Amino acid sequence: MIRNIRRLSRTVRNANRFREILSVFVKHGFGDLSDKLHLDKYLDMGSKYFRLPPRVAAAHLTRPERFRTALEELGPTFTKLGQMMGNRPDLLAPDWALALEKLQDSVPPFPSAEAREVVAAQFGAPVETLFTSFGELPIASASMAQVYKAELPTGEKVAVKVQRPGIEETMKVDLEIMFHIAFLLEKYVQGMDVLNPVAICEEFERTMLKELDFSLEASQMERFAQASADLAIFYVPKVYRERTGRRVLTTEFIDGLKVTNLEGLRHAGHEPGRIAGDLSNVLLHQVFNQGFFHADPHPGNILILPDRTVCFLDYGMVGSLSPTHRERLLDILVGVASQDAGRIAKTLLQLAYQPSDIVEDLEFQVGELLEAYSFVALKDFRIGEFLNRLIRLIVRNRLRMPPGFYLMLKSIVTLEGVARRLDPAFDMVESIKPFAKKAMKERMRPDRLARDMYYGALDLTPMLKEFPAQARDILGLIKRGKLRIEFQHQGLEPILKTHERMMTRLVFALVLASLIIGSSLVVLSGIPPKWYGIPVIGVVGFLSAAFVGFWLLVGIMLRKGSWK
């Protein structure tokens, strides 16, 4: 609570940015959200000095597309948020996730003079003493950083990634505002608490703080290089630690061909089909053997070196799978290969830590999915399409999978698309088979089985030791008649409230009937005092009955009576 109050106070201090964000959403047709969240006061704030932009006439765009456009206009923090949500189909409907996948992380480059100032401030020395040469123009530009080609005094050609000035402070302000909006979404929008937008913002905040620290990306690159040392077809650029810090990352400059340059690849003597196989082998090696993988293998992040070696760039987004998750992934692949819907359904429930009471319904749905592909020739099988349909099935059944699982599926889907651009006949299933077979053999090794049994016995030993004492205590309670069993009822509160409301209205109805009957008897009896010949007590009784009846009627119609 204290954290939320502190965030709110800082959000108020950044009211101008808050108003700018809301204005952009209103401009793109999301004024209804402002009404639902009671944010009109922020739009009105400073209206004497600022004019709200007119609403964009974009009738040809769908609501998800307008949302994507708004995020792009709001800058890098919101663009990154949209990209993260696009990678989490469990959070969004398919059309929204598809729209966010098209987010463009591109902004105008910032002046190179500012980049030099960032480098100098990072290392406490001018650029001229740190590098023999430093490019006048960036060779790549994105929302968070720019990349320059440079040369070290030792003669090595390097790529220097420089963080955009002021980006950290801008993102911190935007994150504070995001948390406040997420809190209002949970408070005012019905059903939004199921998605838990505050938790989504917390996950996004952790991710962004990591991406802002380039020294962490350098550590990731070194980790990949060490784990892939025996993989001859994969190369990780060397990191120069003495020229790397929180806001600057210096790596070996890679001079290679873009993976989409088919003409250049053929001219260099490379076969696109073999490169497609190498790409899949690299990613599958990372998934099955390492347990951590490059989570953004889009064409712009892949270069092919002269010796046909694959080189991934930009290690800011990395996914990881625990050994248990890799075991579950293997079970899913075995289930697909054997057309075993039951195995797949049970594995999905284990991944989501869900009870098995829905396993039959889930098994039926998985069976329908498998049946749709049962007559498809292997060469025509698109694993990306299959995985996308499996993701929709998972989302439809509200199964909460580990974030790394979605990143892994998205990486495979993305890489299959890149590989098919290289070779339309590329078969990802054939690429997966050897890795799955190797993992299955590894699982069935005698020493592995013995080790699993040994650790299982270790886990069971404390329970066996405690069981006799616990059983003796339970028998003692039964013997003394002090054993208590507590039941917890769930879901009764709405029923009890409805019953209480009905009884209250029934009592009011009885009181109303009593007033009418009593007042009628008083009027007929002619008991004084009288008003125009009618007993005053009877008139008061009729008026009271009218008031109670009107109150009861309004309460029933509006369901806002004081008896709730």
Active site residues: 296
- Which tokens is 540 given? 């008061």
399-to-196, 283, 295, 371, 546 alpha-carbon distances in Å:
14, 26, 22, 22, 54
* Cβ contact 143:80 at 8 Å: yes
CA-to-CA distance for 353 and 336, rounded, in angstroms?
A: 21
* Cβ contact 403:85 at 8 Å: no
CA-to-CA distance for 443 and 455, rounded, in angstroms?
A: 15
CA-to-CA distance for 521 and 108, rounded, in angstroms?
A: 87
* Cβ contact 313:303 at 8 Å: yes
CA-to-CA distance for 262 and 481, rounded, in angstroms?
A: 82
CA 475 to centroid of chain Cα atoms: 49
* Cβ contact 329:360 at 8 Å: no
* Residue 20 exposed, middle or buried by CB count within 10 Å (0-12, 13-18, 19+): middle
Neighbour tally for 380: CB within 10 Å = 9
* Cβ contact 106:142 at 8 Å: yes
* Cβ contact 188:36 at 8 Å: yes
- Which tokens is 446 given? 């005698």
- Which tokens is 487 given? 């039941």
Q: Which of 144, 110, 105, 167 is nearest to 300 (CA)?
A: 105
Q: Residue 286 gets which letter from DSSP?
A: I
Specify the amino acid at residue 233. Answer: I
Rg for the chain, CA atoms, rounded: 33
- Secondary structure class of 404 (helix, strand, coil): helix
CA-to-CA distance for 220 and 1, rounded, in angstroms?
A: 35
Q: How many residues does the chain have?
A: 564
* Cβ contact 403:203 at 8 Å: yes
Is the bond into 529 cis (omega within 30 degrees of 0)?
Answer: yes
Q: Residue 340 gets which letter from DSSP?
A: -
Rounded to 5°, the CA angle 232-235-236 comes to 145
- Secondary structure class of 236 (helix, strand, coil): coil
- Which tokens is 313 given? 């760039």
CA-to-CA distance for 545 and 509, rounded, in angstroms?
A: 10
- Which tokens is 230 given? 């025996």
Report residue 388: phi and psi, to 5°: -65, -40
Location of structure tokens 């963080």:
163
